[in-house]
């Protein structure tokens, strides 16, 4: 490329600002800005051709939008006022006519349509550089806290505030609390059926008055002054099961937060006070957006403690033998009847890592030699249906406790004690502090 020839042809096309002229050779001589390249070319052409120096007039390509980088940075700063952020990006909506002018200029001087630098790229960089200086924040070309888009057609800045994320573990201390809101199927969450209060939910629209989400997310949303909040859990326990022990990992996603640097220790205290001993959270930390998928896809093993009732008395020896048969067993499970309405019919293969238990006497004051009740603990692979591992689900789970005993067995109460990542997928980079 002969840069002087390119400059002559470009200047012959009509009045050009230094930015539009310099963008044509933006890949030459690093360390210069496009206005510096453009002015240098303009001076070089005047000297080489011994012509009077011609300062730029009103640019036919950008219509002098490239003179307004400072103005756009001030507009973006004003639009972001009231939002806390550490990282940002700037985008630009260039009017079709100006984009066409940018293309025609390259065509006029015989350059490739992508030669040099496009106006949108220069705009993003120059406004972004100024915005960072004005706000003391850092540009992030991955997922930034905020995205300010300069719309050259309307002279407005469109703002996108990305979500904030808080990670932790929860314990559910009471039964009959779902993990998330559970809309009533009878009324589709409206509370009404043919204009009358729904009998299925007494007009509330929900099958349960509270959920883990409702007992935690509102406090996090309020602390971050967000518009809404969504609860993401690493799987979920049954509604009638408690989540005890080390708790279950979760992430609360806050939409359009105005505050990001919350004190997570204080937030944890506030959540626990709000949940009123129905739910407890611990280990709250600010997290990245990647943590949502990591938590939702967590390949976790789980330990369960179950109260089991048998249809006939079982001896302690028989129970020990049956549990020994399950300890380390590979289990085949057809989709359980209780979830067949929402799960595809298939056979799942899962591992039982450990199985232990004891019979319980009728008055629950200790162990017994023969009884119709037992406490059983199972440590199994994620996705193992433990209720069916006990009952056999009419033969859909093989082997099962009921099958090994030759007696009916039913789980009357279930607690989840641990939810642990099989390969410890969380890393320091998943957290912000």
Active site residues: 238
- CA proximity to 42, closest of 19, 14, 18: 18
- Is there a contact between 335 and 346 (Cβ–Cβ < 8 Å)? yes
User: Quick one: how far is CA 14 from the chain centroid?
Assistant: 50
Q: What is each CA distance from 406 to 24, 137, 312, 315, 358, in whole angstroms?
A: 83, 68, 10, 12, 17
User: Quick one: how far is CA 252 from the chain centroid?
Assistant: 8
The C-alpha atoms of residue 278 and residue 4 are separated, in whole angstroms, by: 76
The C-alpha atoms of residue 202 and residue 306 are separated, in whole angstroms, by: 32
End-to-end CA distance of the chain: 50
Owner of token pair 């004051």: 365
Question: Which residues pair with residue 309 across a beta bridge?
Answer: 373, 410
47 sits in the region (left: phi over 0; alpha: psi -120 to 50; else beta) called alpha
Q: What is the DSSP string of 276-314?
A: TTSEEEEEEEEE-THHHHHHHT--EEEEEEEEEEEEEEE
82 sits in the region (left: phi over 0; alpha: psi -120 to 50; else beta) called left
Q: What is the DSSP string of 352-415?
A: EEEEEEEEE-TTSSS--SEEEEEEEEEEE-TT--HHHHHH-TTTTEES-HHHHHTS-EEEEEEE
User: Quick one: how far is CA 401 from the chain centroid?
Assistant: 39
């Amino acid at each position: 490329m002969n840069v002087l020839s390119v400059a002559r042809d470009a200047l012959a096309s009509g009045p050009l600002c230094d930015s539009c002229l310099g963008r044509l050779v933006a890949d030459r001589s690093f360390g210069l800005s496009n206005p510096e390249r453009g002015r240098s070319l303009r001076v070089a052409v005047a000297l080489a051709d011994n012509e009077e120096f011609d300062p730029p007039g009103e640019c036919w390509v950008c219509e002098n939008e490239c003179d307004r980088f400072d103005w756009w940075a001030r507009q973006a700063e004003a639009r972001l006022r009231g939002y806390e952020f550490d990282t940002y990006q700037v985008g630009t909506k260039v009017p079709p006519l100006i984009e066409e002018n940018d293309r025609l200029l390259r065509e006029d001087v015989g350059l490739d349509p992508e030669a040099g630098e496009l106006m949108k790229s220069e705009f993003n960089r120059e406004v972004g550089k100024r915005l960072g200086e004005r706000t003391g924040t850092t540009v992030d070309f991955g997922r930034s806290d905020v995205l300010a888009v300069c719309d050259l057609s309307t002279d407005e800045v469109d703002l996108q505030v990305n979500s904030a994320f808080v990670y932790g573990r929860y314990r559910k201390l009471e039964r009959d609390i779902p993990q998330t809101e559970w809309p009533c199927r009878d009324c589709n969450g409206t509370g009404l059926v043919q204009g009358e209060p729904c009998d299925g939910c007494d007009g509330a629209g929900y099958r349960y008055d509270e959920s883990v989400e409702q007992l935690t997310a509102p406090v996090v949303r309020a602390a971050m002054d967000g518009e809404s909040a969504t609860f993401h859990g690493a799987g979920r326990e049954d509604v009638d099961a408690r989540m005890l022990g080390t708790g279950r990992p979760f992430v609360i996603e806050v939409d359009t937060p105005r505050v990001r640097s919350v004190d997570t220790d204080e937030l944890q205290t506030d959540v626990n006070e709000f949940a009123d001993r129905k739910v407890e959270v611990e280990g709250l930390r600010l997290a990245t957006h990647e943590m949502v998928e990591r938590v939702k896809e967590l390949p976790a093993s789980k330990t369960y403690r179950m109260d089991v009732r048998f249809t006939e008395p079982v001896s302690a020896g028989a129970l020990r033998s049956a549990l020994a048969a399950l300890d380390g067993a590979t289990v085949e499970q057809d989709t359980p009847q209780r979830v067949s309405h929402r799960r595809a019919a298939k056979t799942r293969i899962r591992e039982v890592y450990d199985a232990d238990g004891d019979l319980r006497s009728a008055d629950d004051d200790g162990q017994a030699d023969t009884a119709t009740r037992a406490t059983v603990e199972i440590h199994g692979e994620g996705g193992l249906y433990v209720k069916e591992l006990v009952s056999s689900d009419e033969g859909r789970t093989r082997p099962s406790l009921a099958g090994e005993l030759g007696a009916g067995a039913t789980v009357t109460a279930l607690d989840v004690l641990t939810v642990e990542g099989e390969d410890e997928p969380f890393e320091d980079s998943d957290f912000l502090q």
